[in-house]
Amino acid sequence: MRIHTMIATAALALCVSASMASAETITAVHNGGTVGAAQHEAFFVPFAEARGHTVVEDTFNQELAKLRSQIETGNLIWDVVSVTAINEATACEEGLLERVDWAAILDLEDFKGAGGFGECGVPNNLVSGGLVYDADVIDPADAPRTWADFWNVEKWPGKRGMLYRAEQTLEVALMADGVPPQDVMTVLSSDGGVERAFAKLEELKPHIMWWKSGDESMQNILSGEVVMTFAWNGRVATANKSNDRNLKIVFDAGHVSGSQYFAIMKGAPKLDLAKELILFSSSPKAQAQYSRLIDYAPANAEAFDLLTEAELATLPRDHLDKASFQNGQLYLNFWLDNGDTLLQRFLRFAAQ
């Protein structure tokens, strides 16, 4: 689906009349769904209104083949793309994205909590996946506090929701086996680390209900099909608001935390305008508004100061010491080198 964000009012047209002669159209690509809707409202509409340009939005499910095809054919239809940390690193290495020295334009210190800048991209949010339970079903006074508790099906009988993916799931398994979040990638990438993670998953396997989308993770716990689940914090907050529910995410149990990145297609003819859009979206004001809409943490730490205590309550700001980060060279190297192999092994494991 493509959405056109246009200048809509006569008053605004008068304000930007001087720049309208050079007004341009730029295409920004996101993952769609609630994330795309939040980016539309927090980033793209305000940018179009403030600068007098048109932003055309498209959706992208992280298929790098679509980036490769545009570069190989020379038919560039996208300017700014939103990619995961792994895809930012992969696409940058393959020459699909522009290499930009973002540290010369933005303050690196403001973005360190979200993993810092990539070789090509700027983080635009911080997403955390953690242990979630329904406080209307499980008394918070006797609720799970650790991933070991999540594995304890004797005390809390019932199904457990888990992501149908090797990445994130193997990290959670190691936390359940007692590995501190900050050491998870060191252990996973060491000799025996992968075997240890799969062995821990094997213990819980009879009780696992796999989910493939954020929507599905929420449907399963809201319906009572699972008593606990691994889920992304923004989905939890949205489910509570939309359904008047009382789901709790236990950040201190340890959570898997990673960022989406904005980057620019290699050879984008509107390179300067693409940079301008990314800089606009990286501002504290835009970042704070994005977090209000989707409950994912802002990548720019200065945006936290613009959020109320109630808005901060659903974000992992005060729990980053309990995060296993999906960024950094160790993480990227491990999953770039082993991701395909581990995915196939995981799919065989889940199917058995």
Q: For domain 127-257+322-351, is the CATH number 3.40.190.10?
A: yes
pLDDT at residue 18 tops 70: no
Give, in order, the Cα–Cα distances in Å from 62 to each of 67, 83, 84, 112, 183: 9, 6, 8, 24, 28
Average pLDDT over residues 92-106: 96
pLDDT band at 323 (very low <50, low <70, confident <90, very high): very high
The reply to whether 3-126+259-315 and 127-257+322-351 are identical in fold is yes
What's the burial of 250, exposed, middle or buried (CB within 10 Å: 0-12/13-18/19+)?
buried
What's the burial of 144, exposed, middle or buried (CB within 10 Å: 0-12/13-18/19+)?
buried
pTM score? 0.80
pLDDT band at 31 (very low <50, low <70, confident <90, very high): confident
Pick left, alpha or beta for residue 178 (phi over 0 → left; psi -120 to 50 → alpha; otherwise beta).
Answer: left
CATH fold group of domain 3-126+259-315: D-Maltodextrin-Binding Protein; domain 2 (3.40.190)
Going by C-alpha positions, the residue among 169, 249, 159, 155 that lies closest to residue 209 is 159
What percentage of the chain reaches a pLDDT higher than 70? 94
Coil vs helix vs strand at 53? coil
Q: What is the pLDDT of residues 236-265, one digit of tens each?
A: 988 998 899 999 999 999 999 989 999 999
Domain boundaries, the chain: 3-126+259-315, 127-257+322-351
Average pLDDT value for the chain: 91
pLDDT at residue 168 tops 70: yes
| Res 23: pLDDT | 86
Average pLDDT over residues 28-45: 91
